[in-house]
């Protein structure tokens, strides 16, 4: 499994953009990069995923480096509800289908 | 509303008293899974199921049992709970049991906080 490195914590102001980095230098060529987040007292929830090109959805954008050794999750305008632990997960799937959650980045959003 | 539900949400029990945590999904998903979350250890998979009557061990299966008699339900059974099974448990499901590469979104339940005294 690819090893990921994320900052332990980050802070943001409400309504400002947030860039959450992730290094995954050992990622295989077939691993997708998934991001999940876990709000306080809730189960993890899917945010976004991609393989090589940048991806956008209603929640966030995902910028993937050309060499795929790093990626950045972008929240365009942070809200208080975005305060959560964000997990970057290289994921191929396999028959077991288990997501390998690291420690993630705890994002705090200040009003 | 598409969701994964778990019951109970909170449970305090004593060592050795058998318990079952239920998990149900209403999305007709084939794949279901149980994780436990512990401080400093992250989420670890206990058991998973690719389809009805098909289950397999995850990374930390000792002390747990599961069954998958219906597509929507995937109960987690602790036959003889011990204090080291005190944890936060999450059930998850995803649409397909197809092989890799997997891009399926996994949907998680709200969690069950279990304390074994």
Alpha-carbon distances of B83 from A50, B13, B19, B37, B86, rounded to whole Å: 40, 10, 13, 15, 5
Mean pLDDT of chain B: 93
Mean pLDDT of A62-68: 94
Q: Between A97 and B1, name the one with better pLDDT.
A: B1
Q: Which of B43, B66, B97, B110 to mutate to test the interface with A (most CBs of A within 10 A)?
A: B43
CB B87 within 8 A of CB B64: no
Mean pLDDT of B37-52: 91
**Which chain A residues are Cβ-neighbours of B43 within 8 angstroms?**
44, 99, 101
Mean pLDDT of A20-25: 95
Q: Is the pLDDT of residue B81 over 90?
A: yes
Q: Is the pLDDT of residue A93 over 80?
A: no
When CB atoms are compared, the residue of B101, B108, B111 closest to A92 is B101
Mean pLDDT of B73-99: 91
Mean pLDDT of A19-23: 97
Q: What is the pLDDT of residue B97?
A: 56
């Amino acid at each position: 499994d690819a090893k990921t490195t994320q900052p332990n914590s980050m802070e943001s102001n409400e309504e400002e953009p947030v860039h959450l980095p992730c290094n995954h230098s050992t990622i295989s060529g077939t691993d997708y990069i998934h991001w999940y987040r876990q709000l306080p007292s809730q189960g993890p929830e899917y945010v976004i995923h991609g393989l090589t090109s940048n991806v956008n959805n209603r929640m966030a954008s995902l910028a993937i480096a050309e060499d795929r050794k790093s990626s950045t999750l972008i929240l365009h305008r942070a809200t208080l509800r975005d305060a959560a632990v964000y997990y970057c997960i290289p994921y191929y799937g396999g028959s077991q289908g288990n997501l390998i959650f690291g420690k993630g980045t705890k994002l705090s959003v200040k009003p | 509303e598409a969701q994964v539900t778990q019951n109970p949400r909170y449970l305090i029990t004593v060592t050795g008293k058998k318990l079952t945590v239920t998990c149900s999904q209403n999305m007709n998903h084939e794949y279901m899974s149980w994780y436990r979350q512990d401080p400093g250890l992250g989420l670890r998979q206990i058991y998973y199921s690719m389809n009805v009557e098909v289950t397999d061990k995850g990374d930390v299966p000792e002390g747990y049992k599961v069954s998958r008699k219906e597509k929507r339900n995937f109960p987690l059974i602790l036959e003889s709970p011990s204090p080291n099974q005190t944890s936060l448990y999450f059930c998850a499901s995803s649409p397909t049991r197809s092989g890799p590469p997997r891009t399926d979104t996994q949907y998680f339940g709200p969690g069950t906080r279990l304390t074994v005294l």
